[in-house]
Amino acid sequence: MANLATLALPARWRWLLWSFTRREITSRYAGSISGIGWTFAHPLIQLALFSFVFGHIFRVGVPPGYEPASYLAFVAVALWPWVMFTEALTRGR
């Protein structure tokens, strides 16, 4: 069984990941007024909207067995991986 140190990103490739991330952010938001703030605001607004509509208007609750968790946390755990998956598919075409 491999330990966590061997699974971590090697130090020699971190610069490449940093370079790709910086290039993606600068090219994606070039000429934008809101810039990188929208990257964080959009998922939070979407989470708040889903939580309000389904939690307060439709009165959807947490499934049995998950009662200690709030509905907001339950939706976040399901929504954010889905948003990342759809964003990866959209950008990967």
Question: Which pLDDT tens digit goes with each residue over 57-85?
Answer: 999 888 888 888 888 998 999 888 998 89
Segment 20-39 shows an average pLDDT of: 81
pTM listed for this prediction: 0.64
Q: Is residue 24 part of a domain?
A: no
Q: Is residue 52 part of a domain?
A: yes
Count of structural domains within the chain: 1
* Rounded Cα–Cα distance for residues 25 and 9 (Å): 21
Q: Is residue 21 part of a domain?
A: no
* Residue span of the structural domain in which 68 resides: 35-93
* Rounded Cα–Cα distance for residues 83 and 47 (Å): 11
Q: Is residue 10 part of a domain?
A: no
* Rounded Cα–Cα distance for residues 70 and 61 (Å): 9
pLDDT band at 32 (very low <50, low <70, confident <90, very high): confident
pLDDT at 6 over 60: no
Q: Is residue 43 part of a domain?
A: yes
Q: Is residue 75 part of a domain?
A: yes
